[in-house]
Structure 1
């Protein structure tokens, strides 16, 4: 029954995507992040729904009557530059058989990021894209939070099978990233019950992050909490809720959760942490040997390459659990520089949006969204420093949203105002 219902829903969306490709961006985000087909048990489980929607969206974008160009911003150019450099490193990869499929997957992701940059125009479309992203991933946080309450936190919360967020660590990272988006929705809500609902979602998602038993997720959650207080409007009410909710949420978790979190400070004696540091040293050694080209996609998980560059006391091959060290190993210092520049450009663009919209009541939504997207970037940088998700489509789509908000609601209006100011006053001259 689930297979039939989901298939009918998606098939009903396909004609709309051809006519209105923006709907395809929403559908791709929903299917790509939530993976609802992975919640079925029959024929719909393995059908390539995401690819079908992506192809129709791209076709609709190219044949649409109204043509838009991607916003000219540092973020746009850096995404293109990073994609180009991954192509270069793929050409010189240690193992082309492993690198090319990963590169092709990354190209497909960036094609839909291009569609986001081209098709999402105006406040309403940006807002609804944020809503879809937040609830597509937040669904597993809300469900996981309820599950944790019912089971006493004894079982780990996991993501949907066959997705970027299947692993408990990856799910924790994704939930930390979308948690600020719920705060944005909370700030924009005009009805009391809506605000209470969004706050409840945040509490349940926080509990779900704890229940993933991810130490990187725990660090990311702590950073999110701190920056939410620094970046939010109406901090007093949020602080009161946090002070009341955090002790209650921690009391739900069992002793084995506390024992695992305690290893964060005692990492020298914890095997997982020690082997993680070994992989970071491996990444540095590989980067120093091939500073420009790196090892290509897949080099960070290749056991043969690992033993070539591993430190002398390494215990066993393991994936590089860090977005930064993984990019270094696979794309060299050039790739790492572009990746860091992209994240910095996102942060600086949010600062520019905040400065230009702070005193404008009509653009308060843009101020709130930029503030919360900065918190999402912090979550990605902190939790991602211990997790292998440098190619996660979510972060690139959020960066695209930042570029869209800055160009459409800050750069273009300011440029138009400057042109009007520079235009000579004909009546005065006469």
Structure 2
């Protein structure tokens, strides 16, 4: 039954994708992040739905070229350079054949990020894309949050089967960076309820439902028993409170909910979280430190890094302080450092820095503009998500996971849309900022003269 339902939804989306590449982008993201076909046990489970979605986007773009536009911007330029650099490091890798195979997969992911971004041209499309991206992960947050509450947090919450975020730690970070996007959707409820399936419920109930899903995602992240997620939630919550419009309300919720949730969790969870302070006595933490030191040794020895495969006995024998303790990097930073060297890490950090800066520009461009308030809020929430990823990713090997890269496409295309709108407005229609110091402009002089009479 599940397989039939999934294939029916996919077929409907595929037909729409042939008419507009944007619909194909939504289909691609839904399949890639949620992996709905893995939730069944029949014919849909092993079908290449992601590949079909990619083909549909290309066909839709070829037949509707006016519905796509170039996403070129500083973060995109750096991403392209980073992609080229990864190709060079793959060719010179210690395990060349296997590294090249991984490189081709990563290259396809990044190319699709750029293709998907090119389909976002209107506010409605951007909001819809944010909605599909967030809800693809939030589904597991809502289900996992209810599971945690029903079982008293005694069991861990896991992600979509056969996906990058299947593990409890990976899912936790995914949920953390999804919460700000859900908040954005709650504030854009007028656009959200335009979807036929949500229209009968009305704005108030849809907004409340989104808030409930946000809370369940937070509960599920805690219920994952992930120590990295706890640190990520702490960092994200602080910035989220600062960036939100309802500081008092959200602050009270955090103050009341956080202690209650922690007391609710079992002793096993409390003991595991306590190892954050005693990491030097935790075998898992020591294994990660060993992998981080190995990545540093690789970068110090090889300017091009070791390639995509570093968690192998051969590489650990060559560079790790404890050669027999083979473990993946468990950090986006050390993962990139070991695989692509210091230059690769610099490009990676520069990409995220430029993406964060682009989100900040959205806030400045929309300041004082009620009609662009949505863009400013989106930029603000993307910044919150990026901080959550920066903290949570420090403990996970998610350097090439596509969801955070979609944030880049979202803010780049939103900035392009906002700048286009501003450029099309007559100069007289734009709000003039009040003069601050310096010689008074003619209009200000006239006002001063009038006030004296």
Q: TM-score with structure 2 length normalisation?
A: 0.89
Aligned to 1:308: 318
Q: Is the 8 A contact 1:70 1:76 kept in 2?
A: no
Q: CA deviation at 1:416?
A: 5.1
Aligned to 1:194: 206
Partner Cα separation in structure 2 for residue 314 and residue 100 of structure 1: 25
Q: Does 1:400 align with 2:409?
A: yes
Q: 1:350 aligns with which of 332, 346, 359?
A: 359
Distance 1:308 1:418, change over 3 A: farther
**Deviations, residues 80-134 of structure 1 (Å, cap 9, x unaligned):** 1111111111111111221122111112112221222211101000000000011
Q: Within 5 Å, give how 1:6-405 maps onto structure 2.
A: 6-66=6-66, 68-189=68-189, 191-291=203-303, 293-298=304-309, 300-311=310-321, 313=322, 316-405=325-414
Q: Is the 8 A contact 1:169 1:214 kept in 2?
A: yes
Q: CA deviation at 1:44?
A: 1.0
Partner Cα separation in structure 2 for residue 283 and residue 416 of structure 1: 50
Partner Cα separation in structure 1 for residue 302 and residue 411 of structure 2: 33
Q: Is the 8 A contact 1:73 1:407 kept in 2?
A: no
Partner Cα separation in structure 2 for residue 392 and residue 418 of structure 1: 42
Q: Is the 8 A contact 1:61 1:115 kept in 2?
A: no
Larger radius of gyration: 2
Secondary structure of the structure 1 residue equivalent to 2:45: helix
Q: Number of paired residues?
A: 417
Partner Cα separation in structure 2 for residue 315 and residue 90 of structure 1: 25
Aligned to 1:426: none
Q: Is the 8 A contact 2:331 2:398 kept in 1?
A: yes
Q: Is the 8 A contact 1:169 1:387 kept in 2?
A: yes
Q: Which moved more, 1:47-56 or 1:5-14?
A: 5-14
Q: CA deviation at 1:201?
A: 1.0
Q: Which moved more, 1:59-68 or 1:47-56?
A: 59-68
Q: Is the 8 A contact 1:307 1:317 kept in 2?
A: no
Q: Which moved more, 1:101-110 or 1:216-225?
A: 101-110
Secondary structure of the structure 1 residue equivalent to 2:325: coil
Aligned to 2:446: none
Partner Cα separation in structure 1 for residue 413 and residue 124 of structure 2: 12
Secondary structure of the structure 1 residue equivalent to 2:41: coil
Secondary structure of the structure 2 residue equivalent to 1:146: helix
Distance 1:147 1:327, change over 3 A: same
Secondary structure of the structure 1 residue equivalent to 2:37: helix
Partner Cα separation in structure 1 for residue 72 and residue 47 of structure 2: 36
Q: CA deviation at 1:60?
A: 1.8
Partner Cα separation in structure 2 for residue 169 and residue 374 of structure 1: 21
Secondary structure of the structure 2 residue equivalent to 1:385: helix
Distance 1:16 1:414, change over 3 A: closer
Partner Cα separation in structure 1 for residue 11 and residue 210 of structure 2: 30
